[in-house]
Structure 1
Amino acid sequence: MRFGLFGTGPWAQLAHAPGLAAHSGVEFAGVWGRDPRKAADLADRYGVPAYSDADALIADVDAVAIALPPDVQAPLALRAARAGRHLLLDKPIALRTEDAEALADAAGEVASVVFFTRRFTPELDGFVTEAAATGGWAEARIDHLGSIFVPDNPFGASPWRRERGGLWDVGPHALAVVLPVLGPVAEVTAVAGPRDLTFVLLKHVSGAVSRFTLAVDAPPAAAREEAVFAGDAGVREVPRGRWDPADALGRAIDQLLVAAGGGPSSAVDVRFGAAVTAVLAAAERSLAEGATVTI
């Protein structure tokens, strides 16, 4: 499958480019970026052409891998889907529910995968599959607090992360674990704390509840990742999984190739990505209105 890479930032360099280049089922066909110099540098590193026109790269490939801010990704992915290209997208797929739904509708005839990184590790994927099959869960708690605005963190220079904070950056990772196990969300309540700290309480259609503590601007000493489910089966801690972005991307590509070949769709396809955006948008609305929001 011929893939075009859209994006040249840290995530494109850490995950997408090496993951595409290493995969035996992929022909890495070219790079487009908003900065032509960075696109040329990244393309030269992998011996592929740099494109100055995004639509020209879409026309030359079978699939797109996008590593761009969500407000840039959404319209580009929509154009690719309408052109019949398969989609390997970053999370969140969009910042507005309407844009996410439009993208999910357009992607109905193509294969799609949203790259929730650790969902593509055997440890976490195995836990989610087992927990969903077990059932009987009453609650979940996820604390995902990072400290990215420090000199040695490559993501600290990201304007969209500084503007949107942990809710939109790490919130998708929490939802990618909780939604498959506890099911769809009916009500969302969110409260803001210091800096970008956000507390989110979800009431699921099943009656279960989940609560998130999210941040990307936490004090370094307070940074942590913890996740726990509790219910009839007892209390279960969620394994974190090995942090290897390029390897995880290879597993995401595997799922895309299977779906494109007529096999089952990925559990984290664009439709799932739209459900994640809907919950995050509801939490943002709850913050603004100071009230519980019904989805």
Structure 2
Amino acid sequence: MTNSDPSGTPLRVGLFGTGPWAARVHAPALAAHPGVELAGVWGRRPEAAAALAEATGTRAYDDPDALLADCDAVAIALPPDVQAPLAARAARAGRHLLLDKPLATTVEAAREVADAADGAGVASVVFCTLRFAPETAGWIEERRTEGGWYVGEARWLGSLYGPGSDSPYAASPWRREKGGLWDLGPHILSVLIPILGDVTGLTAAKGPDDVHHLVLRHASGASSTATLGLSAPPAAGGAALTLHGTAGRAELPAWDGARTAYGEAVTALLTAARTGTPHPCDARFGLRLTELLTEAETRAAGL
């Protein structure tokens, strides 16, 4: 994938959200993309919307419906349960969707978005970083083509809530409530599922703090494990994913930040909008992730 405009006509994209993720990743990537015109910014804090709009050379909107009326697509950088109803509304208005993960934290809300996108015939992409970062996206496709995988092992321990953390994302209420399972789980599942197949069985257990351990069965017959958390001591943090199979061992490569990956997600949305061919990481896939994370949360809680 490349950050080139597949149609020659810029897509007017409205950005909804003004937090650190929007300011560091969404807004600069959208403003720099040759296939996009950043139509404007709306946020729940007008002063933040004004500052972000000024920084990216666009206009701040006080009314989300006014921005919806002035764009062809929406990019959403809001908490999942704020994102979902806005995304469904945008889809019904005929706007393409560039969404964050998780799509929602309830199956019902995620299904509403997927159904609205399907019903309106709009394109959708859910931004799971590893699915779009050039280094990891190519690796996923190569491993999928290779096949023959027997076991997958994944671990992502972040230190967002670990001792001494000063991350701006630590102030996020939904991350504090839902933890690494919901914040990091979509990333890991977005790698494992394309390679090993859909999840056909799942068990989960709680570890220390917000840590969750998952054991998955896949449609290919392979199995995988994943350990996820946001509260690890800094020295214990890190991410890794290893596949074992007939080709031997394969390690997920490192990737270079989220902004480049987000640009690739923009390109994927442009392509899906132009061709009418759904992207594999679309709202329907986002719904599937929500179903799996909900099941994992329920099983880990012993309910």
Tell me the TM-score normalised to structure 2 length: 0.92
Q: What SS is found at the alignment partner of 2:75?
A: strand
Out of 192, 195, 201, the position equivalent to 1:178 is 192
Match of 1:293 in 2: none
- What CA distance in whole angstroms lies between the structure 1 residues aligned with 2:49 and 2:56? 11
Question: For residue 43 of structure 1, what is the amino acid of its counterpart?
Answer: A
Contact 1:188 1:203 in 2 (8 A): yes
- What CA distance in whole angstroms lies between the structure 1 residues aligned with 2:301 and 2:166? 33
Contact 1:183 1:204 in 2 (8 A): yes
The answer on 1:157 being equivalent to 2:171 is yes
Out of 16, 23, 29, the position equivalent to 1:6 is 16
- What CA distance in whole angstroms lies between the structure 2 residues aligned with 1:47 and 1:226? 38
Match of 1:17 in 2: 27
Match of 1:95 in 2: 105
The alignment of Structure 1 onto Structure 2 pairs a total of residues equal to: 289
Task: Give the C-alpha shift of residue 249 in structure 1.
Answer: 1.3
Contact 2:103 2:287 in 1 (8 A): yes
Out of 246, 251, 255, the position equivalent to 1:232 is 246
Match of 1:45 in 2: 55
Out of 204, 212, 220, the position equivalent to 2:218 is 204
Question: For residue 187 of structure 1, what is the amino acid of its counterpart?
Answer: G
Q: Deviations over 1:45-98 (max 9, x none)?
A: 222221111122111100000001101100000000111100000001111112
Task: Give the C-alpha shift of residue 159 in structure 1.
Answer: 0.8
Match of 1:222 in 2: 236
Unmatched tracts of structure 1, length 5 or more:
291-295
The answer on 1:261 being equivalent to 2:274 is yes
Give matches, 1:71-86, under 5 Å. 71-86=81-96
Task: Give the C-alpha shift of residue 123 in structure 1.
Answer: 1.5
- What CA distance in whole angstroms lies between the structure 1 residues aligned with 2:30 and 2:23? 11
Percent of aligned pairs with the same amino acid: 55
| Worse overlay, 41-50 or 106-115 | 41-50
- What CA distance in whole angstroms lies between the structure 2 residues aligned with 1:199 and 1:52? 43
The answer on 1:289 being equivalent to 2:302 is yes
Match of 2:149 in 1: 137
Taking a change above 3 Å as real, the CA distance of residues 36 and 2 of structure 1, as seen in their structure-2 partners, is same
Q: Deviations over 1:186-212 (max 9, x none)?
A: 111111111111101111233211110
Unmatched tracts of structure 2, length 5 or more:
1-10
- What CA distance in whole angstroms lies between the structure 1 residues aligned with 2:155 and 2:165? 24
Q: Which consecutive segments of 4 or more residues in structure 1 shift more than 2 A?
A: 149-152
Question: For residue 204 of structure 1, what is the amino acid of its counterpart?
Answer: H
Out of 124, 127, 135, the position equivalent to 1:112 is 124
Question: For residue 111 of structure 1, what is the amino acid of its counterpart?
Answer: A
The answer on 1:27 being equivalent to 2:53 is no
Task: Give the C-alpha shift of residue 271 in structure 1.
Answer: 1.2
- What CA distance in whole angstroms lies between the structure 2 residues aligned with 1:58 and 1:250? 21
| Worse overlay, 1-10 or 32-41 | 32-41
Q: Deviations over 1:28-58 (max 9, x none)?
A: 1111111111111111222222111112211
- What CA distance in whole angstroms lies between the structure 1 residues aligned with 2:140 and 2:276? 21
Tell me the TM-score normalised to structure 1 length: 0.95
Q: Deviations over 1:258-291 (max 9, x none)?
A: 111115332211111111111111101101226x
Out of 277, 287, 293, the position equivalent to 1:280 is 293
Q: What SS is found at the alignment partner of 2:298?
A: helix
Root-mean-square deviation (CA, aligned residues, Å) is 1.2
